[in-house]
Amino acid sequence: MLSSSQEQKIWNALNGFNIEIPSWGFANTGTRFGKFVQLTAATTIDEKLSDAGEVHKYTGCCPSVAVHVLWDFAKGKQSVAEVNEAAARHGVRVGAINPNVFQDQIYKHGSLGNPDPEIRAAALGHLLDSVEIAKQTGSRDISLWFGDGSNFPGTANIRHRKQWFIEGLKETHAHMTPNQRLLVEYKPFEPTFYHTDIADWGMALLMARASGPQARVLVDTGHHYQAQNIEQIVAWLLSENMLAGFHFNDRRYADDDLTLGSIDPYQVFRIFNEIALFEFETGKRADLAYMIDQSHNLKNKVEEMIQTATTAQELMAKASLVDHESLLEHQRKCNLIDAEECLKSAFAEDVRPAIEQWRKSKGLDINPMRAFRESGYLTRTAAERGERHRNAVSSYA
């Protein structure tokens, strides 16, 4: 049974915890081997925002939607003003702007790291367009992930590519407003397997520092090798004032798209604990953006977003219960068992009753998944969107 002070800690943590959801997470996507179509999947930005609005309606913690420029602002289809209006109509707002410099044929050998100066210029032009879109949507973050790299030894000049990246990121940074941020993400491999131009947090840190004072590092929880200590990376970036936020997911090896906490919820808890400990010691709030980056073939897309958001709330609530004063004292005295028990005892607490009370106070159903399923939304969207998907599957076959 939680004490009143513990319940208050949980409420304080939840009141300050918002999670952005990705527009692309509601569309039919696949692996390099194929895709499995869902009849309720979204195919337009309006449908994506409608789905996102449902997630926020039942969780109360997902007020913004990250968008992908090429997928959500396609030329001749949707203007920025129309997307803004659709977001407001569905009870959400546009969040991080994600450029796309990995999809077009010209990026076969890279974008900002491409040996061809014309292709580098085209990639830079798209990044600058994305900055302008962010100004129109009121978005603070321009979130960058690059698929650049090489698959075979000797086929790319790694140092030249590093310099080309710095030049492109500096120019992008120069076009931002003072309140915007440039988020540099890293990934150890895929789609390139010999070398990746921004392969780890150290490379991302160097790139961000070279870009300018408004650039920070974005940590995707799936973009790490299996034994890597992500909470140490988080602690180091916090100490350097260079952590921008997270893309939430989980991974079995070193790639993403599994549901947050499905493999190792204790690791997510430990990450949240490092953030809470930083805030406890410094007395200031970490300025972090939290976002889901998952797109599922097998789970229903709206339901898995609700599942991820509620899982994140539970793990954040558990981390808020760590006795950091005792933890620091045990660390100073090298009381190894007692220090570890500070974490384990908080992780073992059942925080769900306190979260249910928090939801009641916000006018939310205490069980978001059950309430969403009872709403009939999936039945309606299957009827509205299903024929379109059935025709697509038939034509593909």
Q: What is the pLDDT of residues 266-302, one digit of tens each?
A: 999 999 999 999 999 999 999 999 999 999 889 999 9
Residue 397, amino acid: A
**Residues in the chain, overall count:** 397
Does pLDDT of 396 surpass 50?
no
d(CA 250, CA 367): 23
Does pLDDT of 397 surpass 80?
no
Structure confidence at residue 76 (pLDDT): 57
Q: What value does the mean pLDDT take over residues 357-377?
A: 98
Which DSSP string do the residues of 267-336 spell out, in sequence order? HHHHHHHHHHHHHHHHSS----EEEE----SSS-HHHHHHHHHHHHHHHHHHHHTS-HHHHHHHHHTT-H
Q: Which residues constitute the domain of residue 385? A: 4-396
Per-residue pLDDT band at 33 (split at 50, 70, 90): confident
pLDDT digits (tens, 9 = 90+) for 57-74: 999 999 999 999 999 987
Structure confidence at residue 372 (pLDDT): 98
pLDDT digits (tens, 9 = 90+) for 75-119: 656 799 999 999 999 999 999 999 999 999 999 999 999 999 999
pLDDT digits (tens, 9 = 90+) for 127-154: 999 999 999 999 999 999 999 999 999 9
Does pLDDT of 304 surpass 60?
yes
CATH number of the domain residue 102 falls in: 3.20.20.150
**Could you tell me which residues come within 8 angstroms of residue 123 by beta carbon, excluding any fewer than 6 positions away?**
101, 107, 111, 112, 114, 168
Of the chain, the percentage scoring pLDDT greater than 70 comes to 97
pLDDT digits (tens, 9 = 90+) for 199-241: 999 999 999 999 999 999 999 999 999 899 999 999 999 999 9
Name which of 160, 225, 237, 143 is nearest 187 in CA terms. Answer: 225
pLDDT digits (tens, 9 = 90+) for 151-179: 999 999 999 999 999 999 999 999 999 99
How confident is the prediction for the chain on average, in pLDDT? 95
d(CA 293, CA 19): 11
Of 173 and 35, the structure prediction assigns the larger pLDDT to 173
CA-angle at 220, arms to 215 and 224, nearest 5°: 120
Map tokens 């599957």 to a residue.
393
C-alpha 390: how far from chain center = 30
Neighbour tally for 83: CB within 10 Å: 24
Does pLDDT of 329 surpass 80?
yes
pLDDT digits (tens, 9 = 90+) for 245-260: 999 999 988 777 899 9
Encode burial over 186-214: b for 16+ CB neighbours within 10 A, e otherwise.
bbebeebeebbbbbbbebbbbbbbbbeeb
Beta bridge partners of 219: 246
Of the chain, the percentage scoring pLDDT greater than 90 comes to 90
Structure confidence at residue 41 (pLDDT): 95
pTM of the model: 0.95
d(CA 8, CA 323): 14
Contact, 339 vs 327, CB < 8 A?
A: yes
* Beta strands 195-196 and 149-150, pairing class: antiparallel
d(CA 220, CA 251): 10
Distance spanning both ends of the chain, measured CA to CA: 56
Structure confidence at residue 90 (pLDDT): 98
The count of domains in the chain is 1
